[in-house]
Structure 1
Amino acid sequence: MTIVPLIPDNAPFSVEQRAWLNGFLAGVLNRGAPVPGAAPVDSKRSLLIAFGSQSGNAESLAKRLAREATGRGFVARAAGLDSLQPADLVKEQNVLVITSTWGEGDMPDNAVSFWDSINQNGSSPKLDNVKYSVLALGDKNYADTFCLAGKKLDERLAELGATRITERVDCDVDFDDLAKKWSTSAFAALSGSDSSDMSDQSDSSETGYTKKNPFPARLVANDNLNARGSAKDTHHIALSLAGSGLSYEVGDALGVYVQNCPEVVDAIITSHAFDPNAEATLPDGGTAPLRDALLKHYEVRNLFGKTPAAGLTLTAFLENLRKLQPRLYSIASSLKAHPEEVHLCIAAVRYSADGVPHKGVASTFLSDRLALGDTTGIYFHAANHFRLPTDLTKPVIMVGPGTGIAPFRAFLEEREATAAPGKNWLFFGDQKRACDFLYHDQIIEWTQKGFLTRLDTAFSRDQEEKIYVQTRMLQAANELWQWLEEGAHFYVCGDAKRMAKDVDEALHSIIQTAGGKSADEAAAYITQMKKEKRYARDVY
């Protein structure tokens, strides 16, 4: 088997150019070296793996499967849905789609334009000769909209006449096993073979510390970023990378392995009258004492405060639990400014519901329970959709209220370290200036030096009328429009349900009013910004 390299994401090519080059290399390098027992590569063996990705999971999976498919004898390429038109599917004929869902059942940002183009009656070509299957990524905690983007794409492709080669698979956050079964079945269907006969060609290019082999990072700093009088509890967390050999880019996320609160676990065990030392089966196989299993391996946050069912056995109890997943956090630092460290900005979540106190599992693990000097498993999650412009002269506009400041602290540290000449504009908001201005000293120093060209703050509770970051955007509409016309990249980080949507609406309004465009023209302007990777969101 010929190992086919993929053009790196940071290579000086556009998305479309990288996709074409990947397909070309796959064809050339496999032309004389087919997989043993596989049919010769021809047009029927070309394969497009298209992805709609908001946080990077779908993109990473699509690229991994493209490498695997190449090893199986396909001429395979992975491409974002934002680089495709429906007519491209007709040319490809064999198409696998991997997409996440975000917000309230929305398409990922890079899938919106494609969805709009295939969802307009009469304008999309028929896909009668296309064979396809869909893998949908989602989170069952959002039951009403679970995998909705994937479901919509699957149904629409079928309506346009495409042939579904294998049923859509809907994945929860722990998607690796289901994704493997789906891809094996899809590859077999496209090859005309039995999936049981498919040899394991899984990509094994990941080495070193990964999600499956996390690095034990030591906590070296835990500082409260709020001053006296704040209603919030926000922490600056620093973890050491010394000895790991790991690196990251600003914009990436950090995966953190966490543990449940011992008080919550003990209360659950007591309420069910279980033996804390009883042998418990673990989600990935093996066993451990029940208390250890509930602390480190199972999700228990939804159980606390519930009345246990009478006569529930330990086996039945564990069967109803989900695996405890690592949490992803936006990275708040640049390696150029903090060698061998990675920083996070975390709001500790605490609230009461029906008289029962609740704590955010991950946020309070990091803020309260992980002691200085202790270690926890970490890995890096690439966010290729959320990158600074490669042209350092380009202006950047960053909108990050609350802990949404995290990636923009990293961006600004990176821009300062690289002496990027482009202008920088930050919109930051929170409740009260006196106690909630996160990273105040660093931000003010950047402003005084002129490195941070413009700073607009919105502290909602410092006056009777609440002011938010989108308010400040609208007030600065003319200058913001000028920056966009100069080629500025526009970034948003924070709450997806309210803030990100309000900011998006404000951006449309600014382009209409300051830019003198109609609503349709403003929408087209923003669509073009997304295609050019000039409008990126890291929202949750």
Structure 2
Amino acid sequence: MSSIPLLPETAPFSPEQRAWLNGFFAGLFSRTNSSAAPAVAAATLQPLTILFGSQTGTSESLAKRAAKEAGKRGFAPTVVDMAQTDIAKLAGEKNALVITSTYGDGEPPDNAKSLWEALAKDDAPSLASLNFSVCALGDTNYAQFCRCGIDFDQRLEKCGAKRIADRADCDLEYDEKFTKWLDASLNALGSASAAPSPAATSSAPAAATDSDAHGESLYSKKNPYASLLLSSRNLNAPGSAKSVHHIEFDLAGSGLAYEAGDALGVIPHNCPELVADVLTALGFDGEEAIASADGSTTSLRQALTTTYDLGKPSPDLLAAVAKKTTAPVTAGASVAATSPAPHHVIDVLHAYPDAKFTAAEFVALLKKIQPRLYSISSSPKAHPGQVHLTVGAVRYDLHGRPRKGVCSTFLADRAKPGDTRIGVFVHSNKAFRPPANPDAPMIMVGPGTGIAPFRAFLEERMASGAKGKNWLFFGDQKASTDFLYQDELTALQKSGVLTRLDTAFSRDQQEKIYVQNRMLEAAAELFAWLEAGGHFYVCGDASRMAKDVDAALHKVVELAGKKTPEQAAAYIQNLKTTKRYARDVY
């Protein structure tokens, strides 16, 4: 029997690419040498499509991780951005893993909307030939936890697809659950799917490797870099109702690299006053010994400051309180668990003071403190060895108690420039980048702290000498106190880098004016920029601003482009499909 050619282990390919190519060569070999058929049957790989819906890049990264593992297990994985496929292609698939996040009020990520809308239609085609499983990513701090993944899971089944492994609903700590889901899914697909014919392996191999596969940084969410805080200054003038800080971190010598459009993960510490209140409510002095993850011990005060989340109480904590208290807990637990108001652990302790715990019992009922992701507001070309953020400090009152944003006030109030080191890591967001074509026009809508990535975009274009025109829509409350980076933007205008700047300060006149109003006022020119190949970007609040801006963009295309609402929707969908409409919303 003739041998089937195999790539050597030293070939410059990832394991899953090498596995795919070996199967591909086996398929080709079988068509020219029939005597190899028995070996080919064992060597050919099962096709597997891994679809991702991602707003900030997490689902995309997990999809690539899934592809790596699938490649090792005898699959030919293809990682597919949901925006790059359609319902007809899905109907022709045999095996699919779906990994999707949820954002806003239970909405699909931008790149998943088109596929979801097609799938949700009454006339969606049968998917009876499809084997699938869904991994849903979410955050239990939001009422619509994992809603998008749940919707995909239920709708795929309703369209006739066969669920081969139970859906995984992952919270912010997703690694363990994702790994178990992937293992169960690949095992089930391995037994549910027959090996493809050699011809089935004739399509081109997908780029299934993670961007971190080559030269991966030593630092990550699990192992953040202890970066020195260089600067923290308030960007608002006296009299402002807001407190937005420009934050600078030192990355020199860390090996951490980022691009304009990426986010920075920051590991916060809880407010000492809040920790003290929790200890008082529990009847502890804070010196109680607590076991750390590495086997060492630390004080309860230190653990509550640096390790555990004192925000929304976990279901485990609520259940434990219900068992320990003599007071009726059903209504209180329901409010703490489901109310849109951000109730905290301290509220539960104050409501049920007779529920007593040992220190070890208590921390076992808490979630781990999670990093906060902030859009990076600097270009590495303009600030080598540094990374900058634009952070709005969150402060409010609830139920007679002052509340603070955990990370925002940590950075603004408690971290000391030149003295404090803070855990950070880079979170790549390849879906949010300045135009690859340096001559393409760029339109940016970023009110408030939404200006952050666009400061980075403008710095990037200036440093790289890009010739494309740049247009920024910026808004806030008052020009006199809230015109963030005014001096920098003025200088960019004078230099010609910032071609046009439209501002909307909502409280400088009786009638409130917002960035979407300015877009409509400039509809003809805005549409002309789009027609000239312009890229359209939005950053900021997802629940209101981003929706209003999207509606305004549809109206701009209708009015200036003389299109029907349906034609305008198709025009904007094409912008999304061709990656000329991108949003970084939260």
Q: How high is the TM-score relative to the length of structure 2? A: 0.83
1:282 is displaced (CA, Å) by: 4.9
Instruction: Say what the alpha-carbon RMSD is for the aligned residues.
Output: 2.4
Q: Hey, what does 2:307 align to over in structure 1?
A: 297
Q: Hey, what does 1:445 align to over in structure 2?
A: 491
Q: Hey, what does 1:517 align to over in structure 2?
A: 563
- Give, as a single letter, the amino acid of the residue that structure 2 aligns with 1:317: F
Q: Does 1:221 align with 2:236?
A: no
Q: What secondary structure sits across from 2:583 in the alignment?
A: strand
1:41 is displaced (CA, Å) by: 4.4
Q: Hey, what does 1:346 align to over in structure 2?
A: 391
Q: Hey, what does 2:354 align to over in structure 1?
A: 310
From 328, 331, 344, give the equivalent of 2:373: 328
1:524 is displaced (CA, Å) by: 0.8
1:319 is displaced (CA, Å) by: 3.5
Judge conservation of contact 2:157–2:163 (CA < 8 Å) in 1: yes
Judge conservation of contact 1:48–1:95 (CA < 8 Å) in 2: yes
1:28 is displaced (CA, Å) by: 1.2
Which whole-Å deviations, capped at 9, do the CAs of 1:43-89 have from their partners, x for residues lacking one?
Answer: 6x211110000111101110111112112221112111111122323
Q: Does 1:415 align with 2:461?
A: yes
After superposition, residues 178-217 of structure 1 pair within 5 angstroms as: 178-192=177-191, 205=213, 206-217=216-227
Quote the Cα distance in structure 2 between the aligned partners of 1:5 and 1:162.
37
Q: Hey, what does 1:233 align to over in structure 2?
A: 243
Judge conservation of contact 1:232–1:347 (CA < 8 Å) in 2: yes
Which whole-Å deviations, capped at 9, do the CAs of 1:90-109 have from their partners, x for residues lacking one?
Answer: 43311000000111111110
Q: How high is the TM-score relative to the length of structure 1? A: 0.90
Over 3 Å counting, the alpha-carbon distance change for 1:158 and 1:262 in structure 2 is same
Q: Hey, what does 1:11 align to over in structure 2?
A: none
The count of corresponding residues between Structure 1 and Structure 2 is 512
1:311 is displaced (CA, Å) by: 3.6
Over 3 Å counting, the alpha-carbon distance change for 1:517 and 1:49 in structure 2 is same
Quote the Cα distance in structure 1 between the aligned partners of 2:10 and 2:159.
36
Q: Which runs of 4+ in 1 moved over 4 A?
A: 1-7, 22-26, 30-33, 281-287
Q: What secondary structure sits across from 2:51 in the alignment?
A: strand
Q: What secondary structure sits across from 1:304 in the alignment?
A: helix
Q: Which has the higher mean CA deviation after the structures are superposed, 209-218 or 377-386?
A: 209-218
Over 3 Å counting, the alpha-carbon distance change for 1:431 and 1:269 in structure 2 is same
- Give, as a single letter, the amino acid of the residue that structure 1 aligns with 2:140: K
Q: Hey, what does 1:52 align to over in structure 2?
A: 53
Judge conservation of contact 1:277–1:289 (CA < 8 Å) in 2: yes
Over 3 Å counting, the alpha-carbon distance change for 1:39 and 1:241 in structure 2 is farther
Q: Hey, what does 2:204 align to over in structure 1?
A: none
1:271 is displaced (CA, Å) by: 1.2
1:518 is displaced (CA, Å) by: 0.8
Quote the Cα distance in structure 2 between the aligned partners of 1:24 and 1:349.
46
Percent identity of equivalent pairs: 51
* Unmatched runs of 5 consecutive residues or more in structure 1: 8-21, 194-201
* Unmatched runs of 5 consecutive residues or more in structure 2: 1-7, 27-39, 193-208, 312-343
Looking at CA atoms only, which structure, 1 or 2, has the larger radius of gyration? 2
Judge conservation of contact 2:504–2:513 (CA < 8 Å) in 1: yes
Q: Hey, what does 2:32 align to over in structure 1?
A: none
Judge conservation of contact 1:221–1:372 (CA < 8 Å) in 2: yes
Q: Which has the higher mean CA deviation after the structures are superposed, 517-526 or 296-305?
A: 296-305
1:349 is displaced (CA, Å) by: 0.7
Over 3 Å counting, the alpha-carbon distance change for 1:4 and 1:353 in structure 2 is farther
Q: What secondary structure sits across from 1:192 in the alignment?
A: helix
Which whole-Å deviations, capped at 9, do the CAs of 1:405-447 have from their partners, x for residues lacking one?
Answer: 0000000000001111100000000111111110110101111
Quote the Cα distance in structure 1 between the aligned partners of 2:227 and 2:269.
15
- Give, as a single letter, the amino acid of the residue that structure 2 aligns with 1:157: L
After superposition, residues 359-374 of structure 1 pair within 5 angstroms as: 359-373=404-418, 374=420
From 40, 44, 55, give the equivalent of 1:42: 44
Over 3 Å counting, the alpha-carbon distance change for 1:95 and 1:129 in structure 2 is same
Quote the Cα distance in structure 2 between the aligned partners of 1:470 and 1:164.
43
Which whole-Å deviations, capped at 9, do the CAs of 1:210-233 have from their partners, x for residues lacking one?
Answer: 222211111111111011111111
Over 3 Å counting, the alpha-carbon distance change for 1:491 and 1:257 in structure 2 is same
1:40 is displaced (CA, Å) by: 3.1
Q: Hey, what does 1:506 align to over in structure 2?
A: 552
Q: Hey, what does 1:130 align to over in structure 2?
A: 130
1:513 is displaced (CA, Å) by: 1.0
Judge conservation of contact 1:226–1:234 (CA < 8 Å) in 2: yes
Quote the Cα distance in structure 2 between the aligned partners of 1:236 and 1:510.
33
Q: Hey, what does 1:106 align to over in structure 2?
A: 107
Q: Which has the higher mean CA deviation after the structures are superposed, 414-423 or 78-87?
A: 78-87
Q: Hey, what does 1:375 align to over in structure 2?
A: 421
1:278 is displaced (CA, Å) by: 1.6
Q: What secondary structure sits across from 1:40 in the alignment?
A: helix
1:116 is displaced (CA, Å) by: 1.5
From 382, 405, 409, give the equivalent of 2:451: 405
After superposition, residues 6-45 of structure 1 pair within 5 angstroms as: 26-29=19-22, 40-42=42-44, 45=46
Quote the Cα distance in structure 2 between the aligned partners of 1:58 and 1:492.
20
Q: Does 1:457 align with 2:503?
A: yes
Q: Hey, what does 2:86 align to over in structure 1?
A: 85
Q: Hey, what does 2:321 align to over in structure 1?
A: none
